[in-house]
Amino acid sequence: MSFKILIVDDSPIVRAVLEKTIRLAEIEVDEFLTAANGQEALNVLDDNWVDIIFLDINMPVMNGVEMVQRMSENGTLNEIPVIVVSTEGSATRIDNLKKMGVNAYIRKPFKPEEIKSVVDEVTGVNNAT
């Protein structure tokens, strides 16, 4: 199974590192799309269907929490699995994000095996075999 993945982070270095780490995790990727904040990401989603979103929290213009909120109000977008990738370690915030519909959380710095495990979990790859 090959995925179309949207990476949302205001840091170009983090976007590049995520792409590299996803490839190192041997996840099959059809295409990477990127956005520097939540608003840019919603604009991308207006014209593209993606299979997974990797989302940062602290971003200018529109942060990750607001983007998740906006997605939850949209009957189509709220079906896309969202993996939050953030420097934050607040269990309270992670619980709140999961209640809003976020599927998984990865804390920076991350490793390829963590990315692989979470992608398998949210896409149901392991359950399909």
Partner 1 sequence: MPPEYTQELDEVFTSVLESMAFMFADFTPKEEMPESAATPLEVIINFKGDNQGTMTLIAPEDMCIELVENILGMDPDILNEAERFDALGELVNVTCGQMLTAVLGDEPVYDLTPPVVTRVGQDQWARMLQYEHSAGFMVDEHPVLLKFSMAA
Question: What is the separation, in whole angstroms, between the first and last Cα of the chain?
Answer: 12
Q: Does 127 bind partner 1 (CB under 8 A)?
A: no
- Tokens linked to 40: 């840019």
Q: Does 128 bind partner 1 (CB under 8 A)?
A: no
Shortest Cβ 105–partner 1 spacing (Å):
12
Q: Does 66 bind partner 1 (CB under 8 A)?
A: no
Residues 29-48, mask of contacts with partner 1 (x by CB under 8 A): --------------------
Kindly tell me which residue out of 26, 75, 99, 109 binds partner 1, with binding defined by CB under 8 A.
109
Residues in contact with partner 1 by the rule CB under 8 A: 10-14, 16-17, 20, 58-60, 86-93, 107-109, 111
